Structure 1
Amino acid sequence: MIQQVNLYKPEFRPSQQHMTAARVAMLAVVLLVLVLVAGGWFHYRAAGLEQSLQAERAGNEQIQQSIERMSSDIEGRRPDPQLELAVARVTDTLSRRQRLLERVERLANNRSDGFAAPMAALARQVPQDLWLTGLTLQQDQVSLQGRTRTGSLVPVYLERLGEEPAFTGQVFGRFELTRSDDHPWIEFRVATRRDQEAGR
C-alpha cells in the first residue's frame, strides 16, 4: 500500500505580500527626490557649461578685435618717402662704385698698360664707406678723388696704399678734405709723387 507524506510545513511555504498604499507613496516620494536631485545636478552642469561658453565667446571676440587692430595698423603703415629717397641714393652710390670697380678691374687685367699694378692696388685697398669718383695715373704721379662718410677713412686708405709694392717710393704731397652743406659726404682729393719729385 502506497502512502503520500507531505514534508512541507505551512511556515515554509512562500507567502505573498501585497503592496500597501503607504509603500507606494513612499516609493513615489523616493523617485521624486531622485528626479529632483538629478534635475538639479543637470541644471548646475548646464549653467557651468553656459558660463564656459560665454567665456570662450568673449575670448574669441577679443582675439578678433586684436586681429582687426593689427590689420588696420599694418594697412596704415606706409613707407616713409624720405627713407625711400635715402635708399635710392645709397643704391645709386653703390651702383656707381660697382661700375668704377669693374672699370678698374678691367684696366688692371689689361697687361699691355703699365698701370695695371697700381690700379689693382687702388681697387684692392678701398675700405668700406669710401668711394673713388676719379683718378689720374701718370708715370710720376697718382691723383685720387672720392668721397666718404668719415674723414678718418682717407688716411687709412693711404696707409694701405703705402703698403702696396706698386706705390713703394711715393709720398703724398697733396691732401684736401671738403664738406658741403648740401650733402653729408666728405669730398677728398689726394696726389702722390715719387721721393725725388717731391723733394724739389
Structure 2
Amino acid sequence: MINQQVNLYTPELRPTRQRLHAGTAGALVGIVLVILVAVMAYGRWHNQTLEQQLERLEQQNRNLETAVASMANQVQARQPDPELEASLARITETIARRQRLLERVEGLATHNHGGFSGRLSALARQVPEDLWLTAVRLQSLPSAMRLEGRTRAAELVPSYLARLGDEPAFVGETFGDFRLQRPDDEADHQWVEFRVATQPGEASGR
C-alpha cells in the first residue's frame, strides 16, 4: 500500500497582512473629522433656526398681548360712567316732571282757569333738580296757596321759593307758614318732606 502526502498549505494560500499606510489613515481621519464638523455645523444651524422661530413666536405673543390690552382699554373707555348716567337720569326725570306740570297747566287753561295757569306755569318752570311737588292747592277767593313735596336736600326748598318770587305771577306773594320734616318710615329717611303756605296754619292742614 502506497501512501502519498500532499502539502496544500502553500505560500499562495497563506493569509497576508495588509498594512495601513499613513496616507490612507490620514485620509480616513480627515473624512471622519469632516463628517463630525458637518454634523456639528448642521446642529448649530438647526439650533439657530429654532431660536429664531422661538423669538418670532415670542414677539408675536407680545404683539398679541399689546393688542389685547389696547382693546381692553378701549372697551373700558367706552363703558358709561355710572355717575354721569345717574345725573342724566335725574335731569330726564326733572324734565319729565316739568312737562307733566305744564300739560296740567295747559289743561287748566283750556277749562278757563286763566287765573291759575300763570302760577302753575311758574311752579313748573322753577322746580329744581331733586325736588318734587306732590300737591298744589290754589285758591282764588280768598287768595291762598299751599305747596307740598319732598326733596333730598332741605336747602332746595327756600331756594325754590326765592326763585318763585322772581316770577311775575308771584310778585308780592309771601309764604306765612313753612314746615320741614323727615318721614317716619326708615326706608324714606333720606327724604325731607316740606309744606309751605301763604296763610298761617295752612301748611299743617290737609
1:149 Cα deviation from its structure 2 partner: 0.5
Deviations 1:9-53 (A, max 9, x none): xxxxxxxxxxx7467436524531332222331453366479769
CA RMSD of aligned residues (A): 3.7
Q: Mapping of 1:34-53 within 5 angstroms?
A: 34-45=37-48, 48=51
TM-score by length of 1: 0.56
Aligned equivalents of 1:155, 1:133: Cα separation in 2: 17
| Letter of the 1:152 counterpart | E
Gaps of 5+ in 1: 1-19, 64-89, 194-200
Match of 2:83 in 1: none
1:102 Cα deviation from its structure 2 partner: 5.0
Identity level (%): 39
Aligned equivalents of 1:28, 1:50: Cα separation in 2: 33
1:168 Cα deviation from its structure 2 partner: 1.1
Match of 1:121 in 2: 122
8 Å CA contact retained: 1:135, 1:145: yes
Number of paired residues? 142
Aligned equivalents of 2:98, 2:170: Cα separation in 1: 23
8 Å CA contact retained: 2:98, 2:124: no
Gaps of 5+ in 2: 1-22, 66-89, 200-206
| Letter of the 2:177 counterpart | R
Match of 2:159 in 1: 156
TM-score by length of 2: 0.55
Alignment partner for residue 175 of structure 1, among 167, 175, 178? Answer: 178
Task: Give the 3 Å change call, closer, same or farther, for CA 26–134 of structure 1 in structure 2.
Answer: same
Task: Give the 3 Å change call, closer, same or farther, for CA 97–176 of structure 1 in structure 2.
Answer: same
| Letter of the 2:138 counterpart | L
| Letter of the 1:187 counterpart | E
1:180 Cα deviation from its structure 2 partner: 1.8
Q: Secondary structure at the match of 1:170?
A: coil
